[in-house]
Amino acid sequence: MPVAIHATEKALLKVFNNDFAFSIPAYQRPYAWTKDQASELLTDLLSFLGDGSEAVTDANPYFLGSIVLIKSEDAPKADVVDGQQRLTTITILLSVLRSLFSEKNASRLTKYIYQEGDEFEGTYDCYRLKLRERDEDFFRYYVQCENGLDKLCKLDTFQLSDSQKNIKANASYFLEQLGQLSEQQRSRFSHYLMTCCFLVVVSTPDLDSAYRIFSILNARGLDLSLSDFLKSEVIGSIPPSQQEKYTKIWETEEEDLGREKFQELFAHIRMIDRKAKPRKTTLKEFREDILPKIEPQKFIEEVLKPYSDALEIINTANYRSDKDAETINSLLRWLNQIDNFDWIPPAILYFSKNSHAPEKLKQFFTDIERLAAGLFILRADINDRIGRYAKLLAAIEENVDLYALESPLQLTPQEINRIIKTLDGDLYLIKRIRQYVLLRLDSTLSQGEATYEYPVITVEHVLPQNPSEGSIWLEWFPNDEERIQYVHRIGNLTLLSRKKNAEAQNYDFDKKKKKYFLNNTSIVPFVLTTQVLQQSEWTPAVIEQRQEDSLQSLRKIWRL
């Protein structure tokens, strides 16, 4: 007998109700959405809602995606196979809204977080979302319970798991942003959230069929893609006598770039044209806003081909020229190590306009690497990045001076000060940026001659975090408070071309140099590590001097 599969689009008020009692199974990964995703969600919701000039019912509806559940038809219990991140984040959002409302409005929101049992209906008291066992009590006490958020904001993150840190960070972000709205604005937003935001709820009674649905929804195979639909649309609009010619151009570009990168190209083209986050599907934006403005032949010749060629060079760092090619390719390699790709649309646009002008490319990529690295170090969120690069796209198109102080390509004095402060702080604790910064520094110290094609590169403390009793470290750093001020800063960090050896991390300095920082060949691949090996002792004065020298080098790299 075939398994019943149900898929229904539901407004959130029909999702967070007595029809569902969501539970995150133990096999699911922990809650992983960071402030980036939370910021993107809230910004999108507020953008779709609008500024209040129209009724909520007239605002654009917002599609939150799909969730996949293991659920029988006659019981509310629902194991979440896919959709944990969205359901958890929405619950955090509802709890934040409740905490900001007056008592009357707050009680209205509680019903979406907590089900009050009714013996006549055969229901029972329960929270509508139950997280994995490890985080269940934490989430209930600090998020779902009334007044829990006050306690959450006071927690020290030091002892929290990564998922709990994400919960706290996202709740704090929502509190900060929604706290700036008036009660009336929050009420309007809550109305929109519950009535105009939709999830497709896919449910099936067994795990096997739920997993198959999940796999299909998340497939990355060779099924029809955006580029296939657009190819049909664009080529189909060209006179039949020319279709073969343009089909060949299209398919050659897809083959050269690779299918996955070719799909990404259309997102970059969309950004270059629209200069904003999408408010419709990419296909709809191409059909309604991009393709009608240009003849199909010109789209292929003047947009698709030059942008595809530019993206291929950017991705592979393989620019060829008799002048400055090595410098440009080095900058492209550093750009490709940054953890986002929002810089790529302006890079494509500028490159396509100046592909035969290496002097211009060198100047531009020097400054866009500076900007991208600066935003990376500052952990700018996706909305800030997209807004900045949208302004840069407009500046490139308008041929304004990109190197004037007020240009969006240039870091502001405030940004420079914040970058310096970050670099001069506990860099080791900022996991995402520490290796990039140290490799960039090491490359400069080696005068660009170092290569970093090692399977593993790790960041290591010289002065250990927890020195052993009786060690030389405690003679050099007898004061605990003073020692901790040095441990995580650049002056005390170096690089290893292999995994850390936990047993060796607390060695005394001389032994650590011989057994930990030297590899089997006695050839040290990093200048930063060579600097350590050249020291006879590792005292506060050594770290302070190294800190100052490192900061000076980094300020020179990025003109800070």
Query: Which two tokens mark 280?
Result: 């419709």
- C-alpha to C-alpha distances, 52 to 204, 261, 335, 472, 509, nearest whole angstrom: 40, 40, 40, 66, 64
Task: Tell me the per-residue pLDDT of 154-194, one tens digit each, with 9 for 90 and over.
Answer: 888 888 888 999 999 999 999 999 999 998 999 999 999 99
For residues 544 and 550, what is the distance between their CA atoms, to the nearest angstrom? Answer: 10
For residues 426 and 547, what is the distance between their CA atoms, to the nearest angstrom? Answer: 11
Instruction: Kindly tell me the number of DSSP H helices and DSSP E strands found in the chain.
Output: 25, 10
529 beta partners: none
Q: Report residue 23: phi and psi, to 5°.
A: -140, 130
Q: Report residue 130: phi and psi, to 5°.
A: -115, 120
Per-residue pLDDT, averaged over 16-43, amounts to: 88
Task: Tell me the per-residue pLDDT of 277-286, one tens digit each, with 9 for 90 and over.
Answer: 888 778 788 8
Place of tokens 């639909």: 229
Query: Which two tokens mark 120?
Result: 């006549």
Residue 210 has pLDDT above 70, yes or no: no
Please name which of 485, 490, 384 lies closest in space to residue 437, comparing C-alpha atoms. 490
Task: Tell me the per-residue pLDDT of 28-40, one tens digit each, with 9 for 90 and over.
Answer: 778 999 999 999 9
Q: Which residues contact 74 (CB under 8 A, 6 or more apart)?
A: none
3-state secondary structure of 67: strand
Task: Tell me the per-residue pLDDT of 245-292, one tens digit each, with 9 for 90 and over.
Answer: 988 899 899 889 988 899 899 999 999 999 998 887 787 888 889 999
What average pLDDT is seen over the chain?
A: 88
At residue 262, the pLDDT reads 92
Place of tokens 């709809």: 284
Tell me the pLDDT band of 309, cut-offs 50, 70 and 90.
very high
| Half-sphere CA count of 58, side-chain side, radius 13 A | 6
Burial class (CB in 10 A: 0-12, 13-18, 19+), 469: exposed
| Half-sphere CA count of 340, side-chain side, radius 13 A | 23
Query: At 144, which amino acid appears?
Result: Q
CB 462 within 8 A of CB 520: no
Task: Tell me the per-residue pLDDT of 93-129, one tens digit each, with 9 for 90 and over.
Answer: 999 999 999 887 788 899 999 888 666 666 678 889 9
Of residues 1 and 408, which shows the higher confidence score?
Answer: 408
Task: Tell me the per-residue pLDDT of 480-513, one tens digit each, with 9 for 90 and over.
Answer: 888 899 999 999 998 888 766 555 567 788 887 7
Tell me the pLDDT band of 220, cut-offs 50, 70 and 90.
very low
For residues 10 and 67, what is the distance between their CA atoms, to the nearest angstrom? Answer: 11
Q: Which residues contact 506 (CB under 8 A, 6 or more apart)?
A: 464, 466, 467, 468, 471
At residue 122, the pLDDT reads 66
Please name which of 411, 354, 403 lies closest in space to residue 557, comparing C-alpha atoms. 411
Of residues 494 and 367, which shows the higher confidence score?
Answer: 367
Query: Which two tokens mark 372?
Result: 């991208």
Task: Tell me the per-residue pLDDT of 436-485, one tens digit each, with 9 for 90 and over.
Answer: 999 999 998 988 666 677 778 889 898 988 888 888 889 898 888 888 99
At residue 221, the pLDDT reads 38
Query: Which two tokens mark 122?
Result: 């055969």
Percent of all residues in the chain with a pLDDT value above 90, rounded to a whole number:
54
Percent of all residues in the chain with a pLDDT value above 70, rounded to a whole number:
91
3-state secondary structure of 105: helix
